[in-house]
């Protein structure tokens, strides 16, 4: 927010008459007033339109942002648009971390880890395939046809930029209970995809492409794997530290405010430390969120649980709304449009080309990977039907704030000689983001209803084929006090064959054993810490 | 936070080696890491020291800030101290509003309004007396003795600056249940005092003192009254709008995240709108908090209630800790010390003079006003004993962040010629703040224990002398469904004499009637909105 002000000061000093001396600058206050009023309006209008099948919260915020952008343009008479400029720092420092942390904190861990392999395939390999397809496609479509001429780094950057999906819109439509597999794949892929494309983008910027060969490709892979594992490890470490601190310190004496403050601060700290060490803050804070919801969350009072659960969700919700509002306003940054000097034809051609690449790039990995997963899966487990594949494909067509932020990063800082083409790339990306969010976004709800609801039985269900007794044993039973009995039952049923047939479930079973024996006694977690006061079990809403 | 970064960038770019390209600047990340780590450390250490009779959270944060200031000085080899500079914008835009809002939101309204007259007397008239005493005293002690020579505006500003108390420390020691009258006076005075001194400060800066006469004094009074009433009205209006919106929109369909978001955003918006209209944002957001806890809070789901209650408290707690940390670091801003060029003797003399003025200025109104209140009060109601008067006097001796912020505002922007004397004023104020918080602060707990606990019976009790039947009727009965019965009982007892003898209680009674008849049906509130889902009464912790 504050970064915004600094930029908005010149624009707004023209907007308002001079007021008497005060310790705050008027322009800052005007900017904050405008944004807070718009956010309130977004929430109220979004709530009113919730039942509408064409609108959703993202679209509302985007349209409201566009409208207020028009108002600002009219008021300033097209002179000044600095209020409308998108700030990368604001986005990456303050808006993205709470969204990703909340995603990790609220994720249905059971589902997420059950489909972990599939999610990684889609999120990592899929994004890499999309990155390659779009990069090559951009080189051929845009470079060869002569719309713009860019360097090889720029084409690779476009690949990374346009691989960053924004599946918020689809997730608002999918139901976590009706289609759990589909939901967890779309959700998990969304998070891993964000991280992957940002890591790819950073790798592209770091590496030297003057001698493009197999070594560079291997280096890219090495960098990527290094970032992935170290970031995950850091997130898990910070999460465990928070669990340990709260468990140790607060034993016997709880303080809701301190607990909530410590969780918030440590989550944010994990992101900052990751960025400081040049790791992927997104992956770190995501896994920190998962670990916190598994251990730390169970070590605090009942009030703290409700407070953290809802306040993280609220902060994430505000950040999301703000981003869309901001993207909408940013689209009317006319200086950029003036600099590009492009005719309407060129703009449309370029945007269409990029949009086509997005469609192709996503199709190029969703359908192959889905079918490969289906082949690998044993007869017992669920296949991803074609209908689901279509929805997964569709879910990743929207482009959002990450795309905008990375585009500015790549094309704003280029040298002056190519500024015209860079401006054109920025405006085209903005068109792609607006078009995909507004058009694809508004079709999503009717489309998914059409694809899914014609078949009243959910097309994908993750647990129908696993024998009931095994499911009960491994997945449904969450009460650790019964664990001893389960082991005995498990032994009695001589289910070695089951273990071989359901590897994911087996891993989950051994993880649970390890968790109960080594992790929970140290870090707390469900069933291990007896909350001393301020908590009654009735008060607590469960995060499953 | 973000304002901080911009300042910290030059300082920290020297601190850290150059890292590879990233979308975030390393210095920003380092600054954020440092502050978040320190905040976590403050919380943990503060928790461990809670039982200690000499320490409290403010002192911990202040000492930790001083220590890290020393570390920064050593690391940068005394070259750069920009990390340590206090930012007014950061303070007034992001740190103060949540603290004041939370104060209004969590205040025991019954107690607060019962003692409203006394609180206003102490908070408004007391602060004005303190302002006059300190201004005249500063003119005589500092001006006439020739330590520094300042303009008449500067002396008046010093009066306003040193009248802003910081009673956080005392409130951590006093118990709201054992000494309700004392607690509500100290608490209420603290809030009203902040607002009054800021309003006085602004009036001093705005008015023309070249012709100082009765008209100027009247203008000052007029400005003050205008600001007081309009700010309060604005706060109440925004609070009522939020209650109305949530009651109307969410009837039948609740969404915890949206409710919490709307409450947070509208609270902050009230502060910003007040600042935009040049009113007192502090008073506005305080009354907005009171209205929100009376109406809005009862219109939301049970989870929203717990979430808002604790998340507002947490944010306020983090902001408070951050301020003390920041004040501690700011004290080691050596550039200021170098500019002042003062000998240790001059500094100590000036600081001692200011400290003496603080002690005298506070004594000049606490004891007279307390005795006047005692005389006015009817035989039936409680008197403020001398012991309590002493505690009220002591509670207001600490000076905090408001003092620092206003000092910078007054003395940083002065012209270059007098910069040496201005720097001296700033460093002396910092010494006063550090000394009062560390020394007075650490004595507070033992002192209050000594004064109060020798007498196991609470020395002040607000309800012992009011006849039990009346107390029950007007104050204890919070269930509006019984209101009808009360009216009848009230009539039956022919208690017109009671009404005359207990005016405050009477006002409260008529307010309750008005509230039940006109306000609650429109704006909701306890007993009038039936929460539809997601709430069971067992879940909710009450704000009384």
Tell me the pLDDT tens digit for each residue of A496-514. 555 555 666 677 778 888 8
Q: Which of A25, A104, A89, A164 is nearest to A326 (CA)?
A: A89
Whether the CB of A248 is below 8 Å from some CB of chain B: the reply is no
Cβ contact A314–B260 (<8 Å): yes
Whether the CB of A539 is below 8 Å from some CB of chain B: the reply is yes
Cα B166 to Cα A128: distance, rounded to the nearest angstrom = 57
Query: What does each of the 544 residues of chain A score in pLDDT, given as a tens digit?
Result: 333 333 333 333 333 333 333 456 777 788 889 889 999 999 888 888 877 777 778 888 889 988 988 888 888 776 655 665 667 778 888 888 998 899 889 887 877 888 888 888 888 889 989 999 999 999 888 877 766 777 888 888 899 999 988 877 677 777 777 778 888 888 888 878 887 888 788 778 777 666 667 777 787 778 778 888 899 999 999 999 999 998 888 755 678 888 999 999 999 999 999 989 988 888 899 899 999 999 999 888 888 999 999 999 999 999 988 988 888 888 877 777 777 677 778 888 889 999 999 999 999 999 999 888 888 776 556 778 888 888 888 888 888 888 888 888 888 765 555 577 788 888 888 889 999 988 888 888 888 888 876 544 444 444 434 444 343 333 333 433 333 444 444 444 445 555 555 666 677 778 888 888 888 888 887 765 444 443 333 333 333 3
Which residues 251-280 in chain A show a CB within 8 A of chain B?
Answer: 253, 255-258, 260-262, 264-266, 268-269, 272-273, 275-276, 278
pLDDT score of B49 more than 80: yes
Residue appearing with tokens 């007869």? A379
Residues of B in contact with A160 (CB under 8 A): none
CA distances from A398 to A132, A158, A432, A433, B243 (A): 19, 16, 9, 7, 36
Cβ neighbourhood burial of B77 (10 Å; 0-12, 13-18, 19+): exposed
Cα A398 to Cα A168: distance, rounded to the nearest angstrom = 9
**Paired tokens of A140:** 């051929």
CA distance A238 to chain B (A): 12
CA distance B272 to chain A (A): 6
CA distance B481 to chain A (A): 26
pLDDT value of residue A442:
86
Handedness of CA A494, A495, A500, A504 (dihedral sign): negative
DSSP, residue by residue, A210-267: SS-SHHHHHHHHHHHHHHHHHHHHHHHHHHHHHHHHHHHHTTT---HHHHHHHHHHHH
Cβ contact A89–B24 (<8 Å): yes
pLDDT value of residue B289:
94
Instruction: Report whether B297 contacts B104 (CB < 8 A).
Output: no
**Paired tokens of A182:** 């589909």
List, in order, residues 6 or more apart from B234 with CB less than 8 Å away: B270, B273, B274, B277, B279, B284
Q: How many CB atoms lie within 10 A of CB A534?
A: 16
Cβ contact B90–A2 (<8 Å): yes
Cβ contact A268–B43 (<8 Å): no
Name which of A29, A44, A94, A299 to mutate to probe chain B: the one with the most chain B Cβ atoms within 10 A of its Cβ.
A29
Cα A151 to Cα A211: distance, rounded to the nearest angstrom = 13
Residue A375 DSSP class: H
Residues of A in contact with B262 (CB under 8 A): 40, 43-44
CA distance B97 to chain A (A): 13
Q: Which of B418, B407, B404, B358 is nearest to B149 (CA)?
A: B418
CA distance A203 to chain B (A): 10
Q: How far is CA B61 from the centre of its chain?
A: 18
Whether the CB of A542 is below 8 Å from some CB of chain B: the reply is no
Polymer length in residues for chain B: 544
Ramachandran sector of residue A244 (left: φ over 0; alpha: ψ -120 to 50; beta: rest): alpha
List, in order, residues 6 or more apart from A165 with CB less than 8 Å away: A189, A190, A193, A194, A362, A395, A396, A397, A398, A399, A400
pLDDT-based confidence at B265, cuts 50/70/90?
very high
Give the phi and the psi of residue B70 in degrees, each rounded to 5: -60, -45
> Percent of chain B at pLDDT above 90?
18
More confident residue, A435 or B203: A435
CA distance B49 to chain A (A): 11
| Average of per-residue pLDDT values in chain B | 76
Among B8-12, B198-202, B266-270, B297-301, whose mean pLDDT is lowest?
B8-12
The predicted model gives B467-478 an average pLDDT of 39
Cβ contact B1–A2 (<8 Å): yes
pLDDT value of residue B208:
66
Question: Degrees (nearest 5) of the Cα angle B201, B206, B209?
Answer: 95
Cβ contact A48–B249 (<8 Å): yes
Which residues 133-162 in chain B show a CB within 8 A of chain A?
Answer: none
Ramachandran sector of residue B34 (left: φ over 0; alpha: ψ -120 to 50; beta: rest): alpha
Whether the CB of A92 is below 8 Å from some CB of chain B: the reply is yes
Residues of A in contact with B6 (CB under 8 A): 6
Secondary structure tally for chain B: helices H, strands E: 27, 0
Cα A458 to Cα A344: distance, rounded to the nearest angstrom = 45
Among A260-264, B43-47, B494-498, whose mean pLDDT is lowest?
B494-498
Whether the CB of B47 is below 8 Å from some CB of chain A: the reply is yes
Instruction: Report whether A405 contacts A88 (CB < 8 A).
Output: yes
Residue appearing with tokens 């476009």? A158
CA distance B32 to chain A (A): 7
Find the helix or strand (DSSP H, E) in which B404 lies.
Answer: helix B401-411
CA distances from B104 to B282, B332, B462 (A): 10, 33, 21
CA distance B145 to chain A (A): 31
CA distance A320 to chain B (A): 12
Q: Is A3 helix (H, G, I), strand (E, B) or coil?
A: helix
pLDDT value of residue B209:
62
Whether the CB of B443 is below 8 Å from some CB of chain A: the reply is no
Instruction: Report whether A462 contacts A402 (CB < 8 A).
Output: no
pTM recorded for the entire structure: 0.81
Residues of A in contact with B248 (CB under 8 A): none
> Percent of chain B at pLDDT above 70?
75
pLDDT score of B240 more than 90: yes
Cβ contact B257–A310 (<8 Å): yes
Whether the CB of A285 is below 8 Å from some CB of chain B: the reply is no
Whether the CB of B248 is below 8 Å from some CB of chain A: the reply is no
Give the phi and the psi of residue B131 in degrees, each rounded to 5: -55, -50
Residues of A in contact with B25 (CB under 8 A): 89
Name which of B307, B319, B410, B414 to mutate to probe chain A: the one with the most chain A Cβ atoms within 10 A of its Cβ.
B307
Q: Which of A525, A489, A529, A524 is nearest to A509 (CA)?
A: A489
Polymer length in residues for chain A: 544
Residues of B in contact with A28 (CB under 8 A): 89, 93
Whether the CB of B122 is below 8 Å from some CB of chain A: the reply is no
pLDDT value of residue A234:
96
Query: Tell me: the pLDDT tens digits for B504-523?
Result: 667 777 888 888 888 888 88
Instruction: Report whether A182 contacts A146 (CB < 8 A).
Output: no
CA distances from A510 to A233, A475, B185, B205 (A): 20, 12, 60, 70
More confident residue, B212 or A75: A75
Question: Degrees (nearest 5) of the Cα angle B257, A394, A223?
Answer: 85
pLDDT score of B114 more than 90: no
Cβ contact A276–B313 (<8 Å): no
Whether the CB of B499 is below 8 Å from some CB of chain A: the reply is no
Residue A296 DSSP class: G
Cα A193 to Cα A332: distance, rounded to the nearest angstrom = 28
Instruction: Report whether B274 contacts A24 (CB < 8 A).
Output: no
B437-440 long-range contacts, CB within 8 A, separation 24+: B437/B58, B437/B59, B437/B62, B437/B166, B437/B169, B437/B324, B437/B327, B437/B398, B437/B399, B437/B400, B438/B59, B438/B62, B438/B63, B440/B169, B440/B394, B440/B397, B440/B398
Residue appearing with tokens 């078949």? A455
Residues of A in contact with B306 (CB under 8 A): 303, 306-307, 310, 539
pLDDT value of residue B283:
86
């Amino acid at each position: 927010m504050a970064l915004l002000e600094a930029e908005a000061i010149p624009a707004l000093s023209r907007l308002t008459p001079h007021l008497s001396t005060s310790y705050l600058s008027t322009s800052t206050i005007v900017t904050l007033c405008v944004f807070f009023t718009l956010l309130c309006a977004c929430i109220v209008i979004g709530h009113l339109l919730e039942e509408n099948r064409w609108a959703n919260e993202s679209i509302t915020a985007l349209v409201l942002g566009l409208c207020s952008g028009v108002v600002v343009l009219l008021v300033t008479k097209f002179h000044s648009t600095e209020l409308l400029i998108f700030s990368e720092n604001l986005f990456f420092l303050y808006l993205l971390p709470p969204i990703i942390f909340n995603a990790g904190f609220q994720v249905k861990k059971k589902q997420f880890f059950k489909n972990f392999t599939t999610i990684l395939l889609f999120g990592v390999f899929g994004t890499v395939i999309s990155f390659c397809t779009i990069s090559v496609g951009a080189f051929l479509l845009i470079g060869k046809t002569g719309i713009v001429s860019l360097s090889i780094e720029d084409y690779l950057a476009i690949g990374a930029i346009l691989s960053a999906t924004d599946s918020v819109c689809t997730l608002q439509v999918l139901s976590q209970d009706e289609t759990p597999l589909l939901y967890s794949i779309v959700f998990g892929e969304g998070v891993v995809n964000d991280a992957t494309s940002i890591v790819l983008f950073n790798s592209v910027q770091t590496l030297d492409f003057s001698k493009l060969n197999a070594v560079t490709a291997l280096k890219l892979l090495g960098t990527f794997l290094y970032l992935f594992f170290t970031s995950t490890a850091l997130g898990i470490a910070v999460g465990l530290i928070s669990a340990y601190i709260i468990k140790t310190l607060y034993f016997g004496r709880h303080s809701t405010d301190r607990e909530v403050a410590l969780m918030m601060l440590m989550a944010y700290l994990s992101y900052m430390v990751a960025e400081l060490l040049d790791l992927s803050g997104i992956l770190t804070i995501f896994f920190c969120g998962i670990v916190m919801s598994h251990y730390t969350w169970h070590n605090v009072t009942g009030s703290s649980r409700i407070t953290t659960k809802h306040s993280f969700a609220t902060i994430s919700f505000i950040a999301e709304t703000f981003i869309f509002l901001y993207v909408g306003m940013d689209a009317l940054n006319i200086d950029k449009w003036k600099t590009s000097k492009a005719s309407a034809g060129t703009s449309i051609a370029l945007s269409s080309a990029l949009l086509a690449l997005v469609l192709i790039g996503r199709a190029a990995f969703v359908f192959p990977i889905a079918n490969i997963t289906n082949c690998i899966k044993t007869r017992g487990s669920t296949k991803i039907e074609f209908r689901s594949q279509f929805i997964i494909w569709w879910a990743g067509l929207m482009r959002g704030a990450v795309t905008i932020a990375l585009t500015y990063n790549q094309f704003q800082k280029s040298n002056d000689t190519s500024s015209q083409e860079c401006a054109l790339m920025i405006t085209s990306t903005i068109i792609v983001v607006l078009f995909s969010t507004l058009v694809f976004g508004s079709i999503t709800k009717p489309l998914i209803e059409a694809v899914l609801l014609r078949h009243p039985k959910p097309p994908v269900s993750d647990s129908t084929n696993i024998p009931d007794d095994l499911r009960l044993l491994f997945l449904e039973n969450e009460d650790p006090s019964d664990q001893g009995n389960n082991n005995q039952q498990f032994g009695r049923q001589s289910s070695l064959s089951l273990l071989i047939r359901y590897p994911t479930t087996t891993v989950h079973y051994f993880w649970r054993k390890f968790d109960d024996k080594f992790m929970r006694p140290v870090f707390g977690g469900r069933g291990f810490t007896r909350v001393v006061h301020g908590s009654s079990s009735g008060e607590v809403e469960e995060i499953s």
